[in-house]
Chains A and B, each alone.
Chain A
Amino acid sequence: MSDKPLLKKADFQSDQAIRWCPGCGDYAILAQTQKTFPEITEHKENTVFISGIGCSSRFPYYMNTYGFHTIHGRAPTIACGLKMANPDLSVWLVTGDGDGLSIGGNHMIHLLRRNFDINIMLFNNRIYGLTKGQYSPTSEQGKVTYSTPMGSLDYPFKPTKLALGSEASFVAKTIDKELKHLQAMIKRANDHKGTSFIEIYQNCNIFNDGAFARLTDRDTKEEQLIRLEHGQPLIFGVEKDKGIYLDGTTPKVVKIGKDYSIDDIVVHDEEDRFIGDMLANFTESKEFPEAVGVLYCKERPTYDSLMSAQMEESQKGSKSSKGLDELLNAGDTWEVK
């Protein structure tokens, strides 16, 4: 690819009127995606956005690429079929916390373990937006919504933990308001061969406003966020004076200075599952900062490449032009005159 992108942001903007609520975090995610795509492809005709149902799942209508707005929870199935039919396409899956983790949870885990070369953007607003505000599988326990007037009883998922438990080969987390970071994660997902899972914290200003305020407020966020960088120590804080220390296998937040030096701090290794699991566990914890960036990334053969290899292998030395005839005439045959 040449240094200067051939396509512009405008090339990825469709002519459809956008119907999200003013102020919705979805706008920022859409804008960053449209902005990033000229840097990752010269062929928008090879890009396909596939979604389920939800506010977030309207996304494909606004991207001027190929797009398929499917049914609730089932986008992964369509994406897998498409990838089997044409492995050369760049397939992006947009889903929500309800779409991808509740009704579509089964498809999600199986997509991750199969490792098709598909990029997942899961917009987590910790609520059902489109159906007007019921709690979701990522809502905090005790959440009061229309369907849970006395508070929800469900214990929530940590999506990155679920992804790792499903043997995902790429797991990242970012936030709608972190524009540059969001762009970087989209690029990383694009570069990864295999299923890339990006959880994006997204503010639903209508039904769950401020769900991620502590991570987005200028005043608090640097104390609450740890920005992951491969090969760099896990430090955070406005002064970059706090870090993650391992006491045996137990992580602890420590202050760098008197008792601990920078050398005592865990160095992030994207290929280390132990670190990935630990960082995923920091989700919504009172004790630890929230980890954003690539939690885990380790390539393994993709389903689509394994399938292509099997297809090639089976065709070796076969005279496929006679194929159908051979099958039609297989077994015992006889003539009636």
Chain B
Amino acid sequence: MSKKVKLETVDNVTIRFAGDSGDGMQLSGGRFTQTSAIMGNDLSTLPDFPAEIRAPAGSLAGVSSFQIHFSSQEIHTPGESPDVLVAMNPAALKVHLKDLIPGGTLIVNKNAFTTKNLKLAGYESDPTEDGSLEDYYSAHFIEMSKLVTRASEGIDLSPKLIDRTKNLCALGVLFWIYDRPLEPTIDWLNKKFKSKPDIIDANVKALHAGYNYGDTAEIFTTKYIVNKAKLPAGKYRNINGTLATCLGLLTAVEKSKLSLTFAGYPITPASNILHTLANWKRFGVKTYQAEDEMAGIGAALGASYGGSLGVTASSGPGIALKGEFLGLAVITELPLVVINVQRGGPSTGLPTKTEQSDLFQAVYGRNGEAPMPVIAASTPGDCYYTAYEACKMAVKYMTPVMMLSDGYLANGSEPWIIPNPDDLGDFDVEFVKENLTDEKYLPYKRNEKTLARGWAIPGTKGLEHRIGGIEKQDVTGDVNYDSDNHEKMVQIRAQKVANIANELPPTEVFGEKKGDLLILSWGSTHGTCKSATESLLSENLKVAHVSIRWISPLPNDLKDILSNYKKVLMPEINTGQFRQMIRAEFLVDAIGLNEVQGKPLGASTIVAKAKEIINER
């Protein structure tokens, strides 16, 4: 090494890779994530895709990005403003530059700044030429296309294919800056393109070209070291919410010895659950792409009726279509798990963006008095436990359960301690046994403790009985229109759901047990709220954070917890749906912090709002 390189240790870095949809930014981000995970950093990621599959190349609509926040400390969010922005074309620069921190590092693929691309992005003059960037950022204009073309000289691939390796060139530059090894990426390339040695060769050369550029170019003078994070001991892997959800479902059926039948209809961002499970036939998982959303939930419910565990997944518009079936599952008291990977609404809304706006739909979105348990996942890895618990309660209480996830949780990732299914406790299931007596089987006879009815599956001798959507007589299950019986059944169904609260563990309070402000969240705002709380606690403010998992029923101890704080702040990515529920339930004057921008909240916004509330007094 001829030049002098300074080494500097930092705790936290946020990098955003941005480029055209075809530029391979998700891949660069994914590889940087994997390498950082192996190096022992804590991390959190946030991919962001355009809604159009093939938006015109170079257009603003076609920009795709991937953000990674990695650290030598425990972190809970994918970060807010990036410290580093990789912009592979003018459109990516235009869309994302406003988020880059002042003085941040900007890495640009100079070769993409053609007249045509500049025009598509709406630039009047070339920002890499007019000096508009250098004053504000540490800007590096790298001729990546040229670098990879030169590096791959002699490889028998079309110029177009070689140009596509520039995402690895960008990755190589970042690996140099953050002092990360290239081997994990090379190993991965070797596996991924096993039968295409030329592709491997070109990509590896591009990766080295980027790394060597960092090494030799005079403009890079500092390498940043982000040390291992002190994470709880254990065996780790990196996981996203979709995979965690699927693993949770599989764990539930392996432990309960039930079979899993998953039926769904493709919809972003839930489809990947179907894709993942479809590959798990060897574990006895049956999957079914139905003709529509109703057929998806219908088939899942039919499977549950037959003694399998029926699961369906969708996003808001599909959940709307499933509504009538949820009512049927409530009244027939069959187990069913319905996963809503929320996205921006209403209607088609923002299909590839995240939002928490289907809470009312989940809790209330059915005709009649149709209470249904609702559980929300808080982090990508938590989707595993949430899915597992949803299955367990569905079976134990003979009820449909709605699991709420969202686009950010489904696609975002974090390091995850690989769980041991044995630690999850028992999950025993018993079907009603055959009845060889002359006594008539009573399908609506209940377990005294849970109020669940028996799971009597077709094929069992002596249990022949009829169920359906018409109100049933208590105990006998016969069709019944009597008013007193109806009211009783309405109450039983509600009590059954409420009973779940009796077996929930005490709610975890992070921070002060009594104080000025409680930050109350549900779902994926967990990480941001926790980060904000950590920061407020470090300033000795009397605050705490509680993250709600079971939204229906709410935990029994929540009322007391709420009474321990002078004020309650509820950040949500909607206009205040959970806040309305909490106000109605507990008569507390909770304050909202609501953003509906299709992206996660920022911790700094919460910190500022919390201080404002505390200082108001």
Contact = CB atoms under 8 A, between A and B. Distances in A.
Interface in B582-617: none
Query: For the side of the interface on B, what is the size category?
Result: 35 or more
A210 B470 CA distance: 30
B284 A67 contact: no
Contact of B250 (A66, A71, A74, A327): A327
A323 interface: yes
Nearest to A80: B299
A308 to B, nearest CB: 9
A175 to B, nearest CB: 27
Nearest to A107: B295
Interface residues of A, number: 56
A318 B282 contact: yes
Nearest to B236: A334
A239 interface: no
A310 B478 CA distance: 40
Contacts of B281: 310-311, 314-315
Given A45-B460, A324-B250, A324-B251, A89 B306 contact: yes
A324 B305 CA distance: 25
A81 B303 contact: yes
Nearest to B312: A81
A160 interface: no
Interface in A39-79: 44-46, 48, 50, 53, 60-61, 64-71, 74, 76-79
A246 interface: no
A82 B237 contact: no
Given A68-B468, A69-B469, A107-B291, A86 B232 contact: no
B302 A80 contact: yes
A331 B237 contact: yes
16 contacts: A68-B305, A68-B467, A70-B469, A77-B296, A80-B290, A80-B302, A82-B305, A85-B306, A106-B292, A107-B295, A110-B291, A307-B286, A314-B282, A318-B282, A336-B231, A336-B233
A86 B324 CA distance: 24
A250 interface: no
B51 interface: no
A106 B291 contact: yes
B40 interface: yes
A131 interface: no
Nearest to B306: A85
Contact of B299 (A16, A48, A81, A324): A81
Given A71-B324, A336-B236, A81 B247 contact: no
Interface string B311-325: 000000000000011
A335 B284 contact: no
Contacts of B103: none
Interface in B269-301: 280-284, 286, 288, 290-292, 294-301
A3 interface: no
A91 to B, nearest CB: 9
Contact of A332 (B184, B290, B463, B469): B184
Contacts of B459: 45-46, 86, 88-89
Residue from B235, B299, B458, B465 having most chain A Cβ neighbours under 10 A: B458
A333 B261 contact: no
Given A80-B302, A318-B282, A320-B282, A85 B295 contact: no
Contact of A67 (B37, B295, B421, B467): B467
Given A78-B302, A334-B38, A336-B232, A86 B307 contact: yes
> Which 9 interchain pairs have the tightest Cβ spacing?
A77-B298, A81-B302, A69-B468, A85-B306, A81-B299, A314-B281, A78-B302, A67-B466, A85-B308
B234 interface: yes
Given A15-B440, A81-B306, A84-B299, 6 more contacts: A48-B458, A77-B299, A81-B288, A83-B302, A320-B283, A328-B421
A78 B418 contact: no
Given A85-B308, A324-B254, A78 B464 contact: no
Contacts of A4: none
B7 interface: no
Contacts of A44: 464
A77 B37 CA distance: 43
Interface in A295-337: 307, 310-311, 314-315, 318, 320, 323-324, 327-337
Nearest to B42: A336
B466 A328 contact: no
Interface of A: 14-16, 44-46, 48, 50, 53, 60-61, 64-71, 74, 76-86, 88-89, 106-107, 110, 307, 310-311, 314-315, 318, 320, 323-324, 327-337
B454 interface: no
B235 A333 contact: yes
B247 A78 contact: no
B interface: dominant SS: mixed
B263 interface: yes
Contact of B465 (A66, A77, A311, A333): A66
Contacts of B458: 45-46, 48, 66, 82, 86, 89
Contact of B295 (A45, A77, A329, A334): A77
B44 interface: no
Nearest to B468: A69
Contacts of A74: 294-295, 298, 324-325
A201 B478 CA distance: 29
Contact of A61 (B263, B301, B461, B479): B479
A76 to B, nearest CB: 8
B159 interface: no
A83 B421 CA distance: 30
Nearest to B310: A81
Contacts of A334: 37-38, 40, 235-237
B236 A320 contact: no
Interface string B471-488: 000000011000000000
A315 B235 contact: no
Given A45-B460, A67-B467, A77-B295, A16 B478 contact: yes
B464 A329 contact: no
A26 B578 CA distance: 50
Contacts of A324: 247, 250-251, 254, 283, 421
Most chain B Cβ neighbours within 10 Å, of A46, A68, A78 = A78
A68 B470 CA distance: 11
Contacts of B236: 333-336
Contacts of B40: 334, 336
A84 B261 contact: yes
A328 B299 contact: no
Contacts of B250: 323-324, 327
Given A68-B305, A68-B467, A332 B37 contact: yes
A250 B465 CA distance: 51
A329 B418 contact: yes
B285 to A, nearest CB: 9
B39 to A, nearest CB: 9
B261 to A, nearest CB: 6
Given A45-B461, A71-B325, A323-B283, A332 B38 contact: yes
A332 B288 contact: no
A14 B464 CA distance: 10
Given A327-B247, A337-B233, A77 B306 contact: no
Contacts of B238: 331-332
B328 interface: yes
B34 interface: yes
B197 interface: no
A287 to B, nearest CB: 36
B234 A336 contact: yes
B468 A77 contact: no
B418 A82 contact: no
Given A60-B466, A106-B292, A335-B236, A323 B282 contact: yes
The residue in A15, A65, A77, A79 that gathers the most chain B C-beta atoms within 10 A of its C-beta is A77
B378 interface: no
Nearest to A77: B298
A81 B263 contact: yes
Contact of B468 (A60, A76, A106, A331): A60
